[in-house]
Amino acid sequence: MNVEALTEKARRYCAYRERCTREVEEKLLRLGAGRYAIDQVIRLLRDEDFLNDQRYASIFVRGKFRQNGWGKVKIKAALLAKNIPEGDIHEALEEIDTDDYIGKLRALMTKKKQELQTRNKAELRAKTAAYCIQKGYEPELVWEMMR
């Protein structure tokens, strides 16, 4: 497949929803593109603003925080796995309002405590904290709020 055809397919792929560079590279590899063609297509998509990792990171952070209730640790790990630059990740995570973040964590803790069927306070605290940490909230923050 030539570069023009690959570029058109990649444009449609990016127009459907926001994509990161790694997702586009993987798509182009599946289509049989070589490294040179992939680099050309990526450059064109960036020039045309079809592809922007900073924008992708911001949308990803908002979605995972609001919809899935993920904490910053889990969000950062997911973005790093997609090869998003650390600077873009940091900038996107800064968009999360601190009060919203604490409120979401507090609500998560309350919900989990209600779900657990134990009367043992230590076990209740440990399981609730483990759940919140697994959701990607910072362990220090979780334990501080438990107190």
pLDDT reported for residue 28: 96
**CB of 80 within 8 A of CB of 89?**
yes
pLDDT reported for residue 91: 97
Count Cα atoms within 13 angstroms, Cβ side, for 96: 28
Rounded to whole angstroms, the Cα distance separating 46 from 120 reads 55
pLDDT reported for residue 112: 93
Burial annotation 52-61 (CB, 10 A radius, 16+ → b, else e): bbeebbbebb
Residue ranges in the chain modelled with pLDDT below 50: none
Rounded to whole angstroms, the Cα distance separating 83 from 21 reads 8
pLDDT reported for residue 10: 96
pLDDT reported for residue 117: 84
Query: Position of tokens 């910072």?
Result: 138
pLDDT reported for residue 137: 97
